[in-house]
Amino acid sequence: MQLTRNISFEEMTLTGHRKYLEKNRVEGERLIGTLKATAQMLQRVRNNWDKPLIIHSGLRCKALNRVIGGSKLSQHCKGEAADFHIIGVEHKEVFEWIWKESGLKFGQLILEGFVADKPSWIHLSLGSPFRSASKSGQVMTWSKSEGYKVLDRGVNHPTTS
């Protein structure tokens, strides 16, 4: 099932942990509205470059989230977040565009998973009304060695209105 022109339900619920795939898809059917909203936000990012967007992690059922060590409050568990990259575009360029130019009303934007000083993916989650306006527009980086580094707390971020 297509959620947007280029993003499918299957992509948003896919996991390499095969044991949890069916549970993820069943949970996804219950959260179809939120998955569509997340996919629409990702589609806007994809449209800017007109190149394939690869989803590393979309929806995570609670059992899957526990296994991978995700936050208990993760928006992935609600279908409100995705980790992704765009083929052929530097992650930092996509990250900067979302943060400073896109006008997207995101909850969190995180440049994550650094390996050899290069980010592995971008985390993007829905903002208000899915997440309180006071917690929308947060911009961070995350690496194993440094943890989270806040670049914009989001309180006065233009995407929180």
The pLDDT value recorded for residue 146 is 84
In angstroms, rounded to a whole number, what is the distance separating the alpha carbons of residues 58 and 45?
15
Rounded CA Rg of the chain? 15
* Measured CA angle at 60 (ends 109, 16), to 5 deg: 105
CB 111 within 8 A of CB 119: yes
Q: How many residues does the chain have?
A: 161
Tens digit of pLDDT per residue, the chain (161 long)?
999 999 999 999 999 999 999 999 999 999 999 999 999 999 999 999 999 999 999 999 999 999 999 999 999 999 999 999 999 999 999 999 999 999 999 999 999 988 877 889 999 999 876 666 656 899 999 988 888 899 988 854 443 33
In angstroms, rounded to a whole number, what is the distance separating the alpha carbons of residues 149 and 102?
22
pTM score of the predicted model: 0.90
The reply to whether omega before 129 is within 30° of 0 (cis) is yes
Of 154, 151, 132, nearest to 142 by C-alpha is 151
Amino acid of residue 59: L
Residues 6+ apart with CB under 8 A from 66: none
The pLDDT value recorded for residue 134 is 59
